[in-house]
Structures are given as C-alpha cells and as structure tokens.
Amino acid sequence: MSRGKRLSLVLVIALGALVIVRLVYQPKKHRPTPPPVPVRVARAEYADIPITLHALGLVQAYRTVTVAPMITGPMTAVDFRQGSVVQRGALLARIDPRPYQAALAQALAKRAQDRALLAVARDTLKRYQLLIAHHYISAEIVAEQKATVAEDRAIVAQDDALVTTARTNLGYTRITAPITGRTGILAVNAGNIVSPNTPGGIVTITTIQPIYVLFSLPQQTLPEVKHALHAHALNVTAYARQGGRRAVLAHGVLTVLDNVINQSTGTLTLKARFKNPSLALWPGAFVNVRLKVRTERHALVVPSVAVRQGPEGPFVYAVHTGKSSPARPIKSAGKSAGKAVPHVTDIPVRLGFADQRLTVIRSGLRAGMRVVVLGGSRLHPGARIRILPKRHTTGRA
C-alpha cells in the first residue's frame, strides 16, 4: 500500500472516531427535548355522592304455578285465551265428567244401602236390650248385635269417605286457576287424554305484578348493605342500556338477603321487589340493577378515569406548575410563573367508593387540585404536559 493511501485510511478512521465520540458524549443541553404530552384535566371537588352498587339481575315471577290435571280423562274444552290474565278460580279447561258422575252416583247408592243396614242393626239392638232386661235372651246375643252395629257404622263412615272422594274427583273435571296471573302457551290441546303425570301440565300461570329481580353482589359489600337495610328501606332501580344510554325500567325495594354466600363465586344473592305497573320487567329477562345504599355527604371526588394502578397501589397524575409539591399551595413567581410549562407528579391516593363515573378520595389530594383524566398512558413522573381545552367531562377542568 502506498504512503498516500495509508494516510487517507488513517484520516477516515480518525474522522469516524471523532463523530462517534461526539454523538456519545454530546452534552444534554444539546439533546432534543420531548414535546409536552397533550392531556385533559379535571379538578378534585367536594360533592354529595350516592353510594350505589351495580349488578346484573335476572327477572323472576312473583309466583309461578304449573296447572296440571288432578285426574285422568279426555280434555273436552279449553276455556281461556293463551297469554291472557286470569283471576283465581277462573275456569281454564274441562275433562269429560261422565265417568266421575257415575262413580259418585255409585258411591251415593252404596252409602244409602249401608245406612239402611245400620238402621236395621240399631233397631235390632234396641229390641235385644229390652228382652235381656226380662232375661229372655242371653248377654252373648246382645254383645254380638252391638258388634254388628259398630261394624255397620264403620262401613257407613267408609262410604262417606268414598262419596267425598268421588265428589272431589268430579270437581277436578273443571280445571280452574289456582292464582291470579298471566297464562302462558297451552301445552295440551283439547281432545288429548290428560293425567296428573302429564309432562309440564297444561299451562303455566305467572304473577308479574309485583315481580322480583334476583342479583348478586360481592361478599365484601354485605356489612354495608346489612347496616343500611336495618336503618331504612333500600331503593333498587332496574335499567337497560339502549344506544349507550341507561333507560330506567322500574323502581323497587330490596326485600331479601340470601342466608348463605356462594363459595364458588364469593357473592351473595339478593332479591328486590318491583310493582311493575308498565310490565317493563318480564320473567326470565336480564336487566341491569342499581342498589342505592346511602349518600356520602361532602366527599372529595375525582373522575374515575383519573385513578391509575401502580406497583404500590392506586395513584393519580396531579398537575404541577411550580417547584413545590402539588399537594401544597403554589405561590406565584411573577411573569416567569406564567411561562412555566406544567408537568405531572404521581401522587398515591387512598380510595373510597368508586363507580364508572366518580371515585371518592380518602387521602392524598385536596379540593381544587387538577388531575389528568385523558392522556395518562403516555405520562411518567415529571413529564411535561400541554393542557387541552376544556370539554364536557365528569369533573370540572
């Protein structure tokens, strides 16, 4: 290699090394500063917060009765309209009564016959009692006649029972509604042979005014719910989500707490009763349930989206515009204060009640402090921010 080429190679290597050293050891003041992160903020504020619990509920009929025949026979007629409301005692269907009319007539005739035999036996006993007084017959004959009277009396009592059974069976040929409620779909058409073993009976009647809603809550909520229930009636609201909005279906009251916690889910089943005047609740439907436990007065709250979870627990990003801690008042620094770029500090907080909209802050913040509600995923402690214009949020910006 010639001397000129060697010199060129040395110069190239030296220049490359100089560039690398300059890039590695470039002073921090020359490095580009990341732009502020755009965020939206809201203020921590005091408010009266209704403490509510939310759950998914299942609508259950107030009463459900499956109407089944009590006797066997051909069903000759159906006397109700499917899906209609029937009153207790209303005629629903009829079974051919002729075999049961005949059975009743036979039982009545048998009883009349046995009553006649009992009357004869009693008259005979009276005559024997007169004769034994004059020693015309023996005591054994009188004793035998007393036994005959007792036997005939028992036979008549048995006949009475048979007549009652026959009359009851005849009454069962008219199938009536045991409760007031709404009928379902007819399970058996007229002309079929029905019996007490007919699967599903002939129709189901449900009472849906009032109506129940069953729902479950975590076992951790049990103490507060029990305490509130002893103090006053707890209001329950059933609602549906329609197009992103909540449509209230009915208002009711909590009536029952189950007596055992489900070990597999760690939840407790509760039952609420609704008057259901508009029939908005229907058995078997799923609805959203909101249980109002109490109202917490003058609670410090922030939008729930402001609360984040870290390795050491929940925290919020608080807006800081000075050198002092955002948890303390920030004094004005003249014109320079207005030019300061705000940044954020992570502040651990202790939480109280929380729902999808607001979270109660037990400690860590003060009223008036601003917290980040949008854009927090791009932040870190000390990150500079640019506060976006206020828009409608769950807090005041």
**DSSP secondary structure of 150-208:** HHHHHHHHHHHHHHHHHHHHHHTTEEE-SSSEEE---SS-TTSEE-TT-TT-SEEEEEE
Give me the residue label for tokens 């008036």. Answer: 368
**Fold classified for 37-48+299-387:** 2.40.420
Domain boundaries, the chain: 37-48+299-387, 52-62+206-297, 70-88+178-201, 97-172
First to last CA, the chain: 74
Contact 65, 179 (CB under 8 A): yes
The dihedral built from the CA positions of residue 360, 365, 366 and 369, taken in this order, carries a sign that is: negative
Who's near 16: CB < 8 A, 6+ residues apart?
none
Read off the amino acid at residue 51.
I
Q: According to the model, what pLDDT value does residue 389 have?
A: 87
Contact 165, 62 (CB under 8 A): no
The answer to whether domain 37-48+299-387 and domain 52-62+206-297 are alike in fold is: no
Architecture (CATH level 2) of domain 52-62+206-297: Beta Barrel (2.40)
Q: Could you give the C-alpha distances from 124 to 144, 153, 156, 256, 275, in angstroms and in order?
A: 11, 14, 17, 67, 69
Contact 38, 302 (CB under 8 A): no
Distance CA 397, CA 330 (A): 18
Q: Other C-beta atoms within 10 Å of 223: how many?
A: 9
Which residues pair with residue 343 across a beta bridge?
A: 320, 384
Architecture (CATH level 2) of domain 97-172: Orthogonal Bundle (1.10)
Q: Digits of tens for pLDDT over the chain (397 positions)?
A: 565 566 566 566 766 666 665 655 555 555 567 889 999 999 999 999 888 899 999 999 999 999 999 999 999 999 999 999 999 999 999 999 999 999 999 999 999 999 999 999 999 999 999 998 888 889 999 999 999 999 999 999 999 999 999 999 999 999 999 999 999 999 999 999 999 999 999 999 999 999 999 999 999 889 989 999 988 899 999 999 887 788 999 999 999 999 999 999 999 999 999 999 999 999 999 999 999 998 889 999 999 999 999 999 999 999 988 654 454 443 433 444 445 679 999 999 999 888 778 999 999 999 999 999 998 888 989 999 999 987 654 444 4
Q: According to the model, what pLDDT value does residue 339 have?
A: 58
Read off the amino acid at residue 225.
V
pTM beyond 0.75, yes or no: no
Q: What single DSSP character describes residue 384?
A: B
Contact 261, 196 (CB under 8 A): no
Largest CA distance in the chain: 173
